[in-house]
């Protein structure tokens, strides 16, 4: 009986917690369970979800990318600078940050796969380097329309309506970031479930030596996972700039913990016990619902870190207690 209860808690616990929180907040505030607020929650988690998908890729190959937050920050300010400082067309504003995200992923994979630095140490170092690079590039200033440059002139460009539509627009009444998020979740889920590369990433994460003996090109697979992590963090950075209409130098500072929490909450969704995209999505929903609810309850802003940290600890505790019990 005890084992069945533990299995049920592990498999459905996070979904029940999300449901209970939604019910509680719906009674607490009549404006919570409304279409406008629910779409606001989904819009708010869209960026976290993209970053968390990147983290899921790295965890799937038994790695861990700590540089995603800094990647979000650098791609946010680069996209903003390309418009406000250099007046570049939309295609350039999107492609250049994506290339930067891919380059960060390649550097991470080179240090981890070739130089064989442990993933936590390598991505931690890159996190600080990327943070220093983007702050040096912007001289520590956020980028916004009509900002004054260091030479005393005014920035010649501005955020275009077509770019802002990516973060603020709607399509058939649904926010564009929400549509992009759902497409990304579905596509990546299908990638892991039905493609050779997706299955090989999971094989590599499950047992790298066995995967190598089975003919999997492990180094290439791990490299691809870190490049994907950088690309999805870059998409998050682009959407962040499009949503707020500024290039904030610390845009990704809070996103690392939120994305990691979403991924580890996702470990327990439907009893997966491993990184998975559907679980990551529901984990992001839990984080979004909690933050929205705390805002509606007028809790102090600095309590959010306590809540996010507590959710992460609880998710880790439930996941690893269950995994250790299965091993025993």
pLDDT per residue of the chain (328 residues) written in tens, 0 to 9: 556 666 666 677 777 878 888 888 888 888 888 888 888 889 989 999 999 999 999 999 999 999 999 999 999 999 999 999 998 999 999 999 999 999 999 999 999 999 999 999 999 999 999 999 999 998 888 898 988 887 778 888 899 999 999 999 999 888 999 999 999 999 999 999 999 999 999 999 988 889 888 888 999 999 999 999 999 999 999 999 999 999 888 888 888 888 988 898 887 776 666 888 998 999 899 888 888 888 888 877 777 778 777 776 776 676 667 666 665 5
Whole-angstrom Cα distance, residue 213 to residue 146?
A: 58
**Which domains are present in the chain?**
10-327 (1.10.3470)
Q: What is the pTM of this model?
A: 0.92
Helices (H), the chain: 2-28, 35-60, 68-84, 90-109, 119-138, 161-168, 176-194, 196-206, 208-213, 218-244, 255-267, 277-296, 304-327
Which phi-psi region, left, alpha or beta, contains residue 273 (left: φ > 0; alpha: ψ -120 to 50)? left
Burial of 302 (C-beta count, 10 Å sphere; 0-12/13-18/19+) = exposed
Name the phi and psi angles at 143, rounded to 5.
Answer: -110, 130
Q: How far apart are the first and last CA of the chain?
A: 18
Q: How far apart are CA 312 and CA 125, in angstroms?
A: 23
- Taking the CA atoms of the chain, what radius of gyration do you get in angstroms? 20
Among 264, 196, 213, which residue's Cα sits nearest to residue 55? 264
């Amino acid at each position: 009986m005890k084992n069945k209860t533990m299995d049920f808690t592990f498999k459905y616990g996070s979904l029940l917690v999300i449901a209970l929180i939604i019910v509680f907040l719906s009674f607490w505030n009549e404006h919570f369970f409304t279409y406008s607020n629910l779409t606001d929650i989904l819009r708010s988690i869209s960026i976290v979800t993209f970053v968390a998908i990147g983290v899921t890729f790295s965890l799937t190959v038994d790695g861990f990318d700590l540089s995603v937050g800094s990647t979000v920050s650098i791609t946010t300010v680069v996209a903003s600078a390309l418009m406000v400082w250099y007046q570049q067309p939309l295609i350039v504003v999107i492609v250049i940050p994506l290339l930067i995200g891919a380059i960060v992923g390649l550097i991470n994979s080179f240090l981890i796969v070739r130089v064989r630095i442990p993933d936590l140490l390598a991505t931690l170092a890159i996190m600080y380097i990327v943070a220093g690079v983007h702050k040096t590039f912007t001289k520590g200033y956020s980028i916004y329309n009509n900002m004054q440059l260091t030479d005393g002139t005014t920035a010649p460009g501005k955020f275009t309506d077509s770019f802002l539509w990516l973060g603020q627009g709607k399509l058939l009444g649904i926010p564009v970031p929400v549509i992009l998020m759902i497409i990304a979740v579905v596509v990546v889920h299908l990638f892991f479930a039905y493609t050779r590369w997706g299955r090989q990433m999971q094989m590599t994460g499950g047992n790298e030596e066995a995967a190598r003996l089975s003919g999997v090109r492990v180094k290439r697979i791990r490299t691809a996972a870190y490049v994907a992590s950088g690309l999805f963090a870059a998409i998050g950075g682009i959407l962040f700039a499009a949503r707020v209409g500024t290039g904030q130098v610390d845009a990704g500072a809070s996103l690392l913990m939120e994305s990691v929490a979403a991924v580890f909450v996702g470990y327990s969704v439907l009893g997966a016990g491993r990184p998975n995209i559907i679980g990551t999505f529901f984990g992001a929903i839990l984080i979004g619902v909690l933050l929205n609810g705390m805002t509606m309850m007028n809790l102090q802003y600095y309590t959010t870190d306590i809540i996010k940290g507590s959710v992460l600890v609880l998710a880790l505790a439930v996941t690893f207690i269950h995994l250790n019990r299965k091993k025993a």
